[in-house]
Chains A and B, each alone.
Chain A
Amino acid sequence: MSVADTGAFAAWVQEFARSVAEHKDDLTALDSAIGDADHGANMDRGMSAAVAALAEKSPADPAALLKLVGMTLVSKVGGASGPLYGTFFLRMSGALGPEDADDESVGRAFRAGLDGVIARGKAEAGDKTMLDALIPACDALDAALTAGQPLDAALAAAAAAARAGRDATVPLVARKGRASYLGERSAGHQDPGATSTALLLDAAASTLAGG
């Protein structure tokens, strides 16, 4: 069984920040089609601040690290993705103790984060939101871990499920957020939140199980 230590969580956050910066213009382009054209810039601002906060404060354990990332995001992102991603990381933090996270703890933390996003956004599967990537990702993670797969394989399955969920948002009609103002016109566009969530899971798959 592998263990996700503070360094692995820091690597995850740094990789997500790098990936968000790389895809910043793509995320904003998706958001300009059905939203307020700020998702890329907002997530980049928030994740850059999170990486800077980690460098400045060097949190001692995974729970402290995830809390610092969550608090930074609820403050610095600006848009709805701030309280949503921020709550995700804060709830993950709350699900972990001060010790390094074993496979089961990682699964439990992702599930707690998902529950936090659901509670915060009050959205459901199929509403064309980040949940359409996050719900299948957490389900795939749990299923793989329950089947006894190692954490790296389980996270890879979760990332694949998130990408599939992201792709499946294209025909959906948005029922939450700015895109819901567009009604039927939101169909035919990939959801920006589900797109950044797929990046979050890709980053987890390449870092969290250690290297």
Chain B
Amino acid sequence: MARVGLVVVSHSRPLAEAAVALAQQMLPGRDVPIEVAAGTEDGGLGTDAVAISAAITAADAGDGVVVLMDLGSAVLSAETALELIEDDLRDRVVLSAAPLVEGLIGAAVVAGGGADRDRVAAEALLGLAPKQAHLG
């Protein structure tokens, strides 16, 4: 069974932690490594490529990592973080274009079920589908 790690990148630490709390609700008794890299060192709004690279490294248990992020510098910092990690780990990381909250919840549920990295990443991208189907 694969154990895919997740990383949440946001400008805001409270936003990231709340998104993780929402996802954890869907994971009773399941162990999915979810790391947060969010906010500036002084508690302000911003992203930090070095912190993201550390979070990716911490979240990897050998089966790779899917990174969910909010907007703007979160995307650029996540791409920069890929340049700061080891080559073999980089090949196991997917930066997801999914919306942060919906993507994270979808990814967490299938990761908790032992899906592999490609399946977790695909599920994240489908995160908007239930909302779109409901609203028509």
Residues of A with Cβ closer than 8 Å to B? 38, 42, 45, 71, 74-84, 86-87, 90, 120-121, 177-178
Contact size range, B: 10 to 19
The verdict on B80 contacting chain A, using a C-beta distance below 8 Å, is yes
Q: Which residues of A contact B24 (CB under 8 A)?
A: none
Determine which residue in A42, A74, A82, A177 has the highest number of CB atoms from chain B within 10 A of its CB, and name it: A74
A interface: dominant SS? helix
Q: Are B72 and A87 in contact (CB under 8 A)?
A: no
Bound: A82/B49 CA distance, A: 9
Contact string against A for B residues 75-114, beta-carbon threshold 8 Å, 1 for contact and 0 otherwise: 0110110011000000000000000000000000000000
Nearest B-chain residue to A84, judged by Cβ: B76
Asked whether any CB of chain A lies closer than 8 Å to the CB of B51, the reply is: yes
Quick check: A83 and B41 within 8 Å, CB to CB? Answer: no
Q: Which residue of B lies closest to A87 (CB)?
A: B80
In-complex Cβ contact of A83 among B11, B45, B51, B79 (8 A): B79
**B80 neighbours in A (Cβ, 8 Å):** 74, 83, 86-87, 120
**Given A84-B76, A121-B76 in contact, is the A75-B46 Cβ separation under 8 Å?**
no
Q: A74-B77, A86-B80, A120-B79 are in contact. Are A79 and B51 (CB under 8 A)?
A: no
Residue from A71, A78, A90, A177 in contact with B40 in the complex, judged by beta carbons closer than 8 Å: A78
Interface residues of B (CB under 8 A from A): 11, 40-41, 44-51, 72-73, 76-77, 79-80, 83-84
A83–B76 touching, CB < 8 Å: yes
CB of B73 within 8 A of CB of A71, answer: no
The answer to whether A74 and B49 have CB atoms under 8 Å apart is yes
List the B side residues contacting A177 at CB < 8 Å.
72
A46 to chain B, nearest CB (A): 10
When chains A and B are docked, how far (Å) is the Cα of A78 from the Cα of B72?
11
Shortest beta-carbon contacts, A-B, top 3: A78-B46, A83-B76, A74-B49
Q: Once the chains bind, are A80 and B76 in contact (CB under 8 Å)?
A: yes
- In angstroms, Cα B47 to Cα A105, docked, is 32
B residues less than 8 Å from A45 (CB atoms): 40
Residues of A within 8 A of B46 (CB): 38, 42, 77-79, 82
Which residues does chain B contribute within 8 Å of A75, judged by CB atoms? 48-51
A78 contacts B49, CB within 8 Å? no
Q: With A and B bound together, what is the CA distance between A80 and B50 in angstroms?
A: 14
In the bound assembly, the distance between CA atoms of A74 and B73 in angstroms comes to 10
Contact B77 A76 (CB under 8 A): no
> Complex: how many Å from CA A178 to CA B70?
13
